[in-house]
Structure 1
Amino acid sequence: MCAPADHEDGLAMLTTRKHLPPRLPALPAFIGALLCLTLAASTAAQSGNNAVDPTSLIMEAEEFALEGNYDAALPMYEQAIASLVSEPHRQNQLRYRYGIILNALGAQRPDLYPLARGQFEAVLTYIESSPGLPFEHSAARVSSAIAHTYHQQAALQTNPNKRAAMLRHAYQLYTSATEQLRREEDWQNLAITSFNVGQVCEWQGNLEEAIQWLEQAVALDRRHGFADLEEDQAYLTALRELVNPERPVGNTAI
């Protein structure tokens, strides 16, 4: 495991933190898809007294989110999630979506990272308690999403002890997820998670292990033709030059 260290060079702030796929979709496109997911729940809700219509809530939430009014949008997502308690599959689909939104907003509002983690953890519990039940996201992908909240929050954490603890959590979750992603042959998620765990190692000061993870990411990018190849290769080259500043390193194949 990466050992915590005081490594505060500029590279850590220059490298791009990748969002785990599926990346946050365009909100207008998502509205139609989400309406399909909640139509049955909406019909059932309308048949009861004082029932909440999740479809209406989600539509309003998405509209507020498009306007940037997240103070109004987030409570509506939470109401919609609560209203889907009798539809656990749809409820957890929405939880995952909500977690992605919260995670994306965390850079402006770090207080949302724990709430995002809570959504992903609930989804993970649902998946693990229902083995064999089809779900859009594997347990490994959800674990990586949880790790990503720690990863991003660590970048904003000024307390060195808390930052180190967040990076340890991210490392443990990411590395555990990579094993399952490899077994599932989910190569794109494995490449992105390898990039992320490599970056965590760099931030912890363990450049040698960071290089190993980036080599894996680059190899997967090249083998499967992923779009991140050039970016990942540039990051790998920069890490190698930090380790061996006297030795010229080019963007050559591994």
Structure 2
Amino acid sequence: MLSPRKKPAPYRYKALGAALLAAQLIAAAPALAAPAESGPVARLIAQAEETALSGDYDAALPLYERAIAGLANDPRHQNLLRYRYGIVLNALGGERPDLYPLARSQFEAVLTYIESSPGLPFEHSAARVRSAIAHTYHQHSALQENPNKRAAMLRNAYQLYASAIGDLRQERDWQNLAITAFNIGQVCEWQGNLEEAIQWLEQAVDLDRRHGFEDLEEDMAYLTSLREMVNPRQPAGDSAI
């Protein structure tokens, strides 16, 4: 089975676990302090996060839904919470693939909010959210047994990642740019386009080196493996007759 390696920061889940999910939720956005920090919606949010971090996801998901509905009159905080909810759903998708479309719908709603409200402050750029949507397709494709559906998901992932690259570079969002370059490279590999995959991984490694990102070793190893797929090394002592 194909295995996606990375997700656009800040949603990188190598495995599903409370500690890892906690780290990603902390990184995802500032604390979701709604206007009434001690009000019922704020308590619902706190309960949803606590329940998710305890591993009781079946109980956490409806709490997030109720909290999102309760923020209908506060679109900024509602969409911040949608973003976090998308992170949780995306993390669960490996075990419950039916949640990937729901995760995607959360990120798409956030993207609609950003694009319909130019100039309003928001913690995540449209490019970052497009990269998040791409990753829902990227991850979901790894679990898709129908080759036509898998190919369509990979095309969607490629197009969305590619649409985010230029804006991430313009925004100087170097870490998300590096991760997105890695991810689009992996999509290219899965599509059988190894030469383009190598080009994207070279960009990711260059960004890791220039900015001191912790993924340098992993990205270099992946780049090396791609190069060896294109030009396999001959075993020592093996020569043509």
Seq. identity, %: 72
The question of 1:17 aligning with 2:2 is answered no
Give the superposition deviation at 1:26: 3.5
Q: Aligned partners of 1:233 and 1:27: how far apart in 2?
A: 24
Among 179, 196, 201, the alignment partner of 2:188 is 201
SS state at 1:156 partner = coil
Q: Aligned partners of 2:52 and 2:130: how far apart in 1?
A: 26
Cα deviation, 1:129-166, whole Å, max 9, x if unaligned, reads: 11111111000000000000000000111110100000
SS state at 1:217 partner = helix
Q: Aligned partners of 1:106 and 1:238: how far apart in 2?
A: 27
Give the superposition deviation at 1:71: 1.3
Match runs of 1:31-46 below 5 Å: 34=31, 37-38=33-34, 40-41=35-36
- Count of aligned residue pairs for this structure pair: 224
Q: Return 5+ residue gaps in structure 1 as ranges.
A: 1-9, 47-52, 249-254
Residues 174, 197 of structure 1: 8 Å contact kept: yes
Give the superposition deviation at 1:62: 2.1
Match runs of 1:175-194 below 5 Å: 175-194=162-181
SS state at 1:57 partner = helix
State the match for 2:15 in structure 1. Answer: none
Q: Aligned partners of 1:26 and 1:215: how far apart in 2?
A: 28
State the match for 1:221 in structure 2. Answer: 208
Q: Aligned partners of 2:145 and 2:217: how far apart in 1?
A: 31
Identify which range, 64-73 or 205-214, moves more after superposition. Answer: 64-73
TM-score by length of 2: 0.87
Change in CA separation of 1:83 and 1:119 when aligned onto 2, cut-off 3 Å: same
SS state at 2:7 partner = coil
Give the superposition deviation at 1:28: 9.1
State the match for 2:107 in structure 1. Answer: 120
The one-letter code matched in structure 2 to 1:139 is A
Q: Aligned partners of 2:120 and 2:193: how far apart in 1?
A: 39
Q: Aligned partners of 2:36 and 2:209: how far apart in 1?
A: 44
Q: Aligned partners of 1:29 and 1:243: how far apart in 2?
A: 40
Q: What is the root-mean-square deviation of aligned Cα atoms in Å? A: 2.0
Residues 22, 53 of structure 2: 8 Å contact kept: no
Residues 17, 152 of structure 1: 8 Å contact kept: no
Give the superposition deviation at 1:20: 1.6
Give the superposition deviation at 1:226: 0.8
Change in CA separation of 1:227 and 1:28 when aligned onto 2, cut-off 3 Å: closer
The question of 1:97 aligning with 2:57 is answered no
State the match for 1:87 in structure 2. Answer: 74
State the match for 2:238 in structure 1. Answer: none
The question of 1:147 aligning with 2:134 is answered yes
The question of 1:65 aligning with 2:65 is answered no
Among 149, 153, 157, the alignment partner of 1:166 is 153
SS state at 2:96 partner = coil
Q: Aligned partners of 1:196 and 1:93: how far apart in 2?
A: 24
The one-letter code matched in structure 2 to 1:21 is A
State the match for 1:133 in structure 2. Answer: 120
Q: Aligned partners of 2:138 and 2:42: how far apart in 1?
A: 33
The one-letter code matched in structure 2 to 1:178 is I
Residues 171, 197 of structure 1: 8 Å contact kept: yes
Q: Return 5+ residue gaps in structure 2 as ranges.
A: 12-20, 236-241
Residues 181, 203 of structure 2: 8 Å contact kept: yes
